[in-house]
Structure 1
Amino acid sequence: MRLLIDRRRWLTLGAGVLCHAAWAAPLPPRIASPALTQSDFVRNGLQLHFIPAAQAFAQSTAALRDQLATGCNLQPVRNAWRTAMLDWERLSAVSVGPLLERRSARTLDFWPTRPAMVSAAVQAPPADAAGLEQLGAPAKGLPALEWLLWQRAPDAAQCAYAALLAEACAVEAQSILADFQALARQNWTPETALSVFHEWFSQAVGGFEQLRWKKMGKPARSGRASDWPRATSGNTRAAWQAAWGGLQHFLVGTGRAQEQGSLNGYLAGDNQLDLSAQLESAVAQLQTRLQAADPARSTTVTTAMQALAKTKQLMEDKIAPELKTMVGFSESDGD
């Protein structure tokens, strides 16, 4: 059965990156928690987290494609790109399932941008979006689109190439959504859910490291303003907060009624109430730190990185052993 969730509802429940996030206020005291198996966790995680996020991204990339199909009206097109980028940050914060199998991060988000490769592709573009498969990853995806759309006055060739890139992003987003929906239709047994449970936990830990180091620490160390993620469009802080929103939603959901698809819901259902309380406290602190993080103020970035590292350590050193899982990494974890 295909699950349809309104995009606005997902944005409200998910990250709230442009307004108050779900964790702006503490969760109410816990009264009772339903017991959850790993099969329950996988089913609920797909229905409450991954499918809504994939639906939002599919819708926003389709809107970006449609905007560019009518030409480079810069303000609407830039707004559409920003929405799609933030949806991608939320979806890919915990990069699992189709995102790994399809290597979607390489297809959609090769970063840092390589302007020379984008310019070369503009001068000799493929005939259609399918032809983009013959080009290297640095000439495609959301960062390449960002570089093109934030030119002072994109010319006709740049706009035409941007339209091809947007079409390819929309196709990939639809494929990601279809694959997540196919996963949701599977009959999840304890055996089949076990490996997925381990993968999701590891990738959530990897998501913390992606945000802490690749998107914050490494650019800060370089000292070059252009190295910050989404710097060309001035959306670095919004991108950080969206990525955190995706992690946050996976960790704690949006409250007691919607936590069955979250790690915190699984902990509480497993009667790991002390760990659940520690996770809730860490998430609340991270919410404050990530909201304050600003590339222009190095101390705020350092503080956010420290909070990310602390929560990552909680997951690795305390939660993982109790859940009898191990942390591994994939090629999407970055350097």
Structure 2
Amino acid sequence: MIKLYRFMTGVGMCLAWGHALAQNVGPAEPVVAFPIYNAAQAMQGLHQHTLLPRAQAFADAAQALTRQTTAYCAGPAGGDGALQAVRQQWHGSLQAWERLSSVATGAVLERRSQRQIDFWPVRPALIERAMARAPQGEKAMELVGTPAKGLPALEWLLWTRPAAPDTPACAFAQEVARDVEREALALVQAEARIAAKDWDDDAEASRKGMAEWINQWLGGLESLRWAQMEKPLKAAPAGERPAYARLASRGDAASWQTQWKTLREHAGVTPDQRRAPPRPGQALAPIEAILMGQGKLELSAKWSTALAQADQAMAAVDPARAATVLSASTALKSLSLLFQNEVASSLDIPLGFSSADGD
């Protein structure tokens, strides 16, 4: 049985923080005391104060997407304004989803929601076959394969081959939107149950949850770096635009930034948090805060520098400019290696992959 780090409770004083920060690229900050976040506090802050609100935000966005899609499909043909409204809501729903799922732990992992909501690449032939069957309702949509459902399928129906109102394609688009909404609501219920756990009363569950979170953070980073950025770029024939995940909607730049911002929130402290550390169990305790609380100041400063370098590369990334994508991928790879070689081992968290890590 794998050994997991037993996080101690108490308060760890960052006595050498001023010296460590002097080695960093950021501005000088006052010395502060960081608590030693135990696993139960880390899980409470993660689930109650981060994942549950984001699951609810995604459910709200998914419900709005269903309403917009229904209104568009019931409207007159040639309603460009209505189509643009659906597309805009699709982008908003995607961002809400990525804020929840970029670190796919908790209910997202438990329910394997990435397959249901964000299977990529989309399979146009399966979408057309599903449209021909004209499924109606939850039971019928259960028989539709995941490559023909979810947000990528709806993207195809809104951009690649826009579904006109009062057509079988638009009827299917409504069913796809409703299917996403059902999964979003189920995620809220599942995450509410997880968040309500008495983490202090179940040390084993807290330790396992901590290990899952750490591993899924790495999985999210690698998904962004390799699967969504570098791999499509390297696989593209010369002179052709890479087949990025959000190519049809031209939403890749925004998608990458949302994913990185989410990963960054889990990984590093903000300037405000350096002055006022997250309260144990009352907010997300980023990985950097945990390192600082344990007094691992040299490593936390090294981690902060790597995050800043990734910030700089990601700020300049442009899907239309291959060099910027490769530069960003290189910075994220360096961050990934530091995480695997030093950060995870410092926390005594074993790294591995589960059958539900995603696709």
State the TM-score bracket (shorter-chain normalisation): 0.7 to 0.9
Distance (whole Å) between structure 1 residues aligned to residue 97 and residue 51 of structure 2: 11
User: In the alignment, what sits opposite 1:144?
Assistant: 153
RMSD value, Cα: 1.9
Alpha-carbon deviation of 1:169? 0.6
Distance (whole Å) between structure 1 residues aligned to residue 355 and residue 84 of structure 2: 35
**2:138 matches 1:114:** no
- Listed as ranges, the matches of 1:57-206 within 5 Å are 57-72=58-73, 73-151=82-160, 153-155=162-164, 156-189=167-200, 190-206=203-219
User: In the alignment, what sits opposite 1:38?
Assistant: 39
Alpha-carbon deviation of 1:139? 0.8
User: In the alignment, what sits opposite 2:263?
Assistant: 247
**Structure 1 contact 147–232 (Cα < 8 Å) conserved:** yes
User: In the alignment, what sits opposite 2:314?
Assistant: 290
Structure 1 residues 181 and 334: alpha-carbon distance in aligned structure 2, compared to 1, 3 A threshold: closer
Q: Give the TM-score normalised by the residue count of structure 1.
A: 0.87
Alpha-carbon deviation of 1:332? 4.8
**Structure 1 contact 112–227 (Cα < 8 Å) conserved:** no
Partner secondary structure for residue 143 of structure 1: helix
**Structure 2 contact 48–196 (Cα < 8 Å) conserved:** no
Moved more, 129-138 or 25-34: 25-34
Partner secondary structure for residue 199 of structure 2: coil
Distance (whole Å) between structure 2 residues aligned to residue 177 and residue 253 of structure 1: 27
Deviations 1:115-137 (A, max 9, x none): 11111111212121332111111
Partner secondary structure for residue 111 of structure 1: coil
**Structure 1 contact 26–284 (Cα < 8 Å) conserved:** no
**2:350 matches 1:326:** yes
Structure 1 residues 298 and 130: alpha-carbon distance in aligned structure 2, compared to 1, 3 A threshold: same
| Aligned-partner residue type, residue 77 of structure 1 | V
Deviations 1:17-59 (A, max 9, x none): xxxxxxxx87944511122111111111113321222122111
Distance (whole Å) between structure 2 residues aligned to residue 172 and residue 218 of structure 1: 29
| Aligned-partner residue type, residue 180 of structure 1 | E
Structure 1 residues 64 and 226: alpha-carbon distance in aligned structure 2, compared to 1, 3 A threshold: farther
Distance (whole Å) between structure 2 residues aligned to residue 249 and residue 60 of structure 1: 21
**2:220 matches 1:219:** no
**Structure 2 contact 136–175 (Cα < 8 Å) conserved:** no
**Structure 2 contact 34–277 (Cα < 8 Å) conserved:** no
Structure 1 residues 108 and 274: alpha-carbon distance in aligned structure 2, compared to 1, 3 A threshold: same
**Structure 1 contact 49–249 (Cα < 8 Å) conserved:** no
Structure 1 residues 332 and 285: alpha-carbon distance in aligned structure 2, compared to 1, 3 A threshold: farther
**Structure 1 contact 78–149 (Cα < 8 Å) conserved:** yes
| Aligned-partner residue type, residue 66 of structure 2 | R
Structure 1 residues 29 and 301: alpha-carbon distance in aligned structure 2, compared to 1, 3 A threshold: farther
**2:286 matches 1:233:** no
**Structure 1 contact 130–168 (Cα < 8 Å) conserved:** no
**2:315 matches 1:299:** no
**2:317 matches 1:317:** no
Distance (whole Å) between structure 1 residues aligned to residue 188 and residue 294 of structure 2: 30
**More helix as a share of residues:** 1
| Aligned-partner residue type, residue 292 of structure 2 | A
Deviations 1:111-165 (A, max 9, x none): 0111111111112121213321111111100000000011464232111111111
**Structure 1 contact 292–300 (Cα < 8 Å) conserved:** yes
Alpha-carbon deviation of 1:108? 0.6
Structure 2: tracts of 5 or more residues without a match: 1-25, 74-81
Larger Rg: 2
Structure 1: tracts of 5 or more residues without a match: 1-24
Structure 1 residues 270 and 245: alpha-carbon distance in aligned structure 2, compared to 1, 3 A threshold: same
Distance (whole Å) between structure 2 residues aligned to residue 119 and residue 145 of structure 1: 12
Q: How many residues align?
A: 311
| Aligned-partner residue type, residue 80 of structure 1 | Q
Partner secondary structure for residue 150 of structure 1: helix
Deviations 1:283-318 (A, max 9, x none): 222122112111211110111111111111111111
Identical counterparts, % of pairs: 37
Runs of 4+ in 1 over 6 A off after TM superposition: none
| Aligned-partner residue type, residue 281 of structure 1 | T
**Structure 2 contact 107–194 (Cα < 8 Å) conserved:** no
**2:338 matches 1:280:** no
Partner secondary structure for residue 33 of structure 1: strand
**Structure 2 contact 115–358 (Cα < 8 Å) conserved:** no
Moved more, 264-273 or 190-199: 264-273
Partner secondary structure for residue 33 of structure 2: coil
Distance (whole Å) between structure 1 residues aligned to residue 30 and residue 353 of structure 2: 34
